[in-house]
Amino acid sequence: MADFETPQRQSIAGILVLFVFSLTNNIRHFATLLLVVFLRMREQPLYILLAILGLAVAFLVFAALKYWFFTFELNIQERNLLVKDGIINKTRTVIQFENIQQVSLNQSFIHKLTAVYEVIIDTAGSADAEVKIKAVSKEVAEKLKETLTQYVSAKALAETSTSEPEQQLAIVKVSVSSLVKASLTSNYFKTLALIIAFFFSIYETIEQANIEAISEEEVDALSKTFNYGMLLGVLLLVALFLLLVINFIRVFVRYFGLQIKQQETGLEFTYGLLSTRNTNIRPNKVQQLTIEQNILQRKLGIAVIKFTQAGGLLGKNGAVKSALDFPGIGSEEVQSIRKFILGDLPKAHTVLRSNWRKAVFSSFLVLIVPILALVFIPEIDTINRVIGVSVLMTVVLAWNFAALKNYRLEIADGYLYLHAGLWDKTVTVLPIHKMQSVNLVQLAWHKNLDLASLTIETAGGSFTFKLGNKSELSKFVNQWLFNIESSNPKWN
Amino acid sequence: MDSIDDFSNKQLLTNELPDFEAVELQVLHPDYLKVMLIYAAIATFIPAAAFVAAIFLVEDAPLLLPIGLPILLIYMLFVFAGVIIGFKRRGYAIREHDIVYRSGFLSIKTTIIPFNRVQHIALHEALFPRMFKLAGIQLYTAGDESNDLSIDGLPKDIALRIKDLLASKIQGQ
């Protein structure tokens, strides 16, 4: 095992992992068939049980064969990793050390049960850019990662010798209490929307059932005993409770034990309760970095940090995008992570703000449907209609104008900082040299107002600033183009 | 990671930089207007046919004609005006280091792609443009596809020349 120079099999426990994987995959494929079988269970239980048993044995044999024929070996002399796979259709994958981008270890729930790890080897290049060694023991996984990373990091360091940050990022461990704080304070709007949708669908089903089952007199009697105000109150409380619980579980399960380690090639994020993920973020792959913090989180001193990365390299339709976000990170750690990824950020020399029309337009988009509903639903009386429309308009307009105050594009040498949001405040940092293309969009009637929206495309998604001063924006676009065209800085 | 030193802008007066707004845009081939009018005709024919069918088939709809007809006419006017005015606004310019393209009717979009961000170029001939010996070129970057550049309505020889020119520019980097 010591140096992997002879063909290695996976850990024997790998059979179980492969078995479970092929089982879950096939259950997905044969879901409907299985349902039929289960419904027929009563008629011929013995045969069906036997059939299921037989199938399970077949899968187990298949898994064992897969295990037997899967080997990996390092060929130090020729500097490559050779992976052999397949029972009948055999594949040999050769990965040159030079092409390895990163090596990461994963542990899903079944891996945890059997105490093994999955090793994922990412390479630069084509679509099938990774090799997975599905189940090896901890020692083998770590040794393999270490051995391979030696070659990767040697090459990566040679590549990026210019600006490897000197400051050391100590291991950051996000404590359980930070995670609890993060889970209780994040994603209110998203979860609320989900819950509202959920309630509506329940309401609809109940209503349909009502129509069939309950006569009108009964409904009348019901509504007399029920106080609608109280009902609404209870519903709100339930919604709030659900919101907190759902958020709590989601954040907790996903990010439990979040730990950030600095490595030679980047930052390594390890996290997850049921399945442990291990993600490596290389600074030059990051296209945009967003720090998000709402008012509660600011009081608690935690924030969410998001990266958008260029995924695989130069696929046919451009690079694959991937975004990662990590909640519950202390303010100081956020600063050091940002510094590690982007280096020292220069101060902005110009601040561009958005025209008030942006607030009106975003309000319009939010208001149009509810206001039409209020105006055209015949059951509502006039007073409620007027009150409803004016309250809605006041709240939404006030919200959007307050958000507009925070909305701004700060321009520094080589970087853009976009500030947005009112409750969830975000700052998105875009290094200008990540730009792929630039767009200015102007509405015909904004010509005399000299307004336009700016969109910069990166390999990790768009970056948009709406309704700014067009002359100013054009001036900066010229400058950014000059920067990119004169020195051709690398974007990944 | 590229450091900021790699590309910091030496104190250059910004007015001295080449201005993308100042370039003279090349217009598309006039035949392409015909192609776009064909597209517009297809786009308006279907709702118009549906409307006519509705008039004959639906009985007892007194509001159909007085409300439906103006909406249909406004829609048709909008589509054709969009094509004609939009065609005049469309144009491209190839500069030394990048390509500029402008299009749009009510919302006018100017896209600029530096050559050193282009990943590959494709030439395509759709059915109607091909009848007029027109072709289009498409530039792919690593960014979102919706904002990748596609210039249609070029004479085929010019499209080929642009494609070769851009290919050589990309190779030269």
pLDDT digit string (tens) for A437-465?
A: 999 999 999 999 999 999 999 988 899 99
- A196-201: list long-range contacts, CB under 8 Å, 24+ apart: A196/A239, A199/A235, A199/A239
| pLDDT tens digits along A66-83 | 899 999 998 888 888 888
- A222-229: list long-range contacts, CB under 8 Å, 24+ apart: none
Mean pLDDT across A348-376? 93
Mean pLDDT across B126-142? 90
Query: Higher model confidence: residue A206 or residue A487?
Result: A487
Q: Which residues of B touch A491 (CB under 8 A)?
A: 117, 142
> What is the model's pLDDT at position A374?
85
Look at residue A146 and tell me whether its pLDDT is greater than 50. yes
The alpha carbon dihedral of B16, B17, B18, B21 has a sign of: negative
| Alpha helices for chain B (secondary structure H) | 31-57, 64-89, 127-131, 156-171
| pLDDT tens digits along B71-113 | 999 999 999 999 999 999 899 999 989 999 999 999 999 999 9
Q: Which residues of B touch A413 (CB under 8 A)?
A: 4, 8-9
The contacts of residue A451 (CB under 8 Å, 6+ apart) are A355, A357, A442, A443, A467, A468, A469, A470
How far is residue A307's CA from residue A322's CA, in Å, rounded to a whole number?
Answer: 8
Look at residue A210 and tell me whether its pLDDT is greater than 90. no
In this structure, chain A runs to a length of: 492
Q: Which residues of B touch A474 (CB under 8 A)?
A: 19-21
The closest CB to that of A479, out of B6, B9, B105, belongs to B9
The most confident of A13-17, A397-401, B113-117, by mean pLDDT: A397-401
> What is the model's pLDDT at position B11?
46
Residue of B nearest to A431 (CA): B4
The closest CB to that of A479, out of B17, B144, B149, belongs to B17
| pLDDT tens digits along A279-333 | 878 888 889 999 999 999 999 999 999 988 875 433 334 344 467 889 889 888 8
CA atoms within 13 A on the CB side of B60: 0
Pairs of residues, one from chain A and one from chain B, whose beta carbons lie less than 8 Å apart: 146
Look at residue A110 and tell me whether its pLDDT is greater than 90. no
Query: Higher model confidence: residue A219 or residue A22?
Result: A22
Task: Provide the residue type at A403 as one letter.
Answer: A
B147 touches A: beta carbon within 8 Å: yes
Q: How far apart are the first and last CA of chain A?
A: 36
Complex-level ipTM: 0.86
B14 touches A: beta carbon within 8 Å: yes
Interface of A with B in 264-293 (CB under 8 A): 283-284
| pLDDT tens digits along B46-67 | 989 998 898 888 877 788 888 8
> What is the model's pLDDT at position B15?
62
Mean pLDDT across B18-41? 92
- Please name the residue that has the structure tokens 């023991």: A137
A75 touches B: beta carbon within 8 Å: no
What does the domain layout of chain A look like in residue ranges? 14-159, 357-404
B21 touches A: beta carbon within 8 Å: yes
B11 touches A: beta carbon within 8 Å: no
How far is residue A452's CA from residue B107's CA, in Å, rounded to a whole number?
Answer: 10
A489 touches B: beta carbon within 8 Å: yes
Mean pLDDT across A32-57? 77
> What is the model's pLDDT at position A283?
86
Lowest-confidence segment of A7-11, A161-165, A241-245, A337-341 by average pLDDT: A161-165
- Please name the residue that has the structure tokens 């239980």: A45
CA of A86: how far to CAs of A27, A56, A415, B116, in Å? 21, 20, 49, 41
| pLDDT tens digits along A247-276 | 888 888 889 989 998 877 788 888 888 888
For the whole model, what pTM was predicted? 0.75
Distance from CA of A475 to the nearest CA of B (A): 7
Look at residue B140 and tell me whether its pLDDT is greater than 60. yes
Distance from CA of B92 to the nearest CA of A (A): 14
A341 and A283 Cβ atoms separated by less than 8 Å? yes
What CATH number has the domain spanning A14-159? 2.30.29.30
A476 and B11 Cβ atoms separated by less than 8 Å? no
Contact B140 A318 (CB under 8 A): yes
Query: Higher model confidence: residue A127 or residue A124?
Result: A124
Radius of gyration from C-alpha coordinates of chain A: 28
Residue of B nearest to A458 (CA): B143
> What is the model's pLDDT at position B9?
44
A475 touches B: beta carbon within 8 Å: yes
Q: Which residues of B touch A411 (CB under 8 A)?
A: none
> What is the model's pLDDT at position A21?
83
Contact A314 B3 (CB under 8 A): no
Q: Which has the closest alpha carbon to A431: A286, A309, A292?
A: A286
> What is the model's pLDDT at position A244?
83
How far is residue A444's CA from residue A47's CA, in Å, rounded to a whole number?
Answer: 73
> What is the model's pLDDT at position A225?
55
Q: Which residues of B touch A451 (CB under 8 A)?
A: none
Contact B108 A439 (CB under 8 A): no
